[in-house]
Amino acid sequence: MADQIIASGHFPHRVGIDAYGNGGFRFADMSHKGSLLCLPTGMHGWEVADASALTLESLRPALECADELDVLLIGLGPDIVAIDPAIRAAFRARRVIVEPTQTGGAIRTYNVLLAEDRAVAAALIAVEKAR
End-to-end CA distance of the chain: 31
Element (H, E) at 60: helix 60-64
Q: What is the pLDDT of residue 8?
A: 52
130 domain residue, yes or no:
no
In 10 A of CB 57, how many CB atoms?
7
What pLDDT band is residue 130 in, cutting at 50, 70 and 90?
confident
38 domain residue, yes or no:
yes
8 domain residue, yes or no:
yes
31 domain residue, yes or no:
yes
Residue 112's contacts (CB-CB under 8 Å, 6 or more residues apart) are none
**Domain membership of residue 37 as a residue range:** 2-124
What is the tally of structural domains in the chain? 1
129 domain residue, yes or no:
no
CATH number at residue 43: 3.40.1230.10
85 domain residue, yes or no:
yes
69 domain residue, yes or no:
yes
pTM equals 0.91
Q: Please tell me the distance from the alpha carbon of residue 86 to that of residue 127, in angstroms, as a whole number.
A: 25
Nearest by Cα to 16 from 26, 24, 2:
26
Between 2 and 44, the more confident residue is: 44
90 domain residue, yes or no:
yes
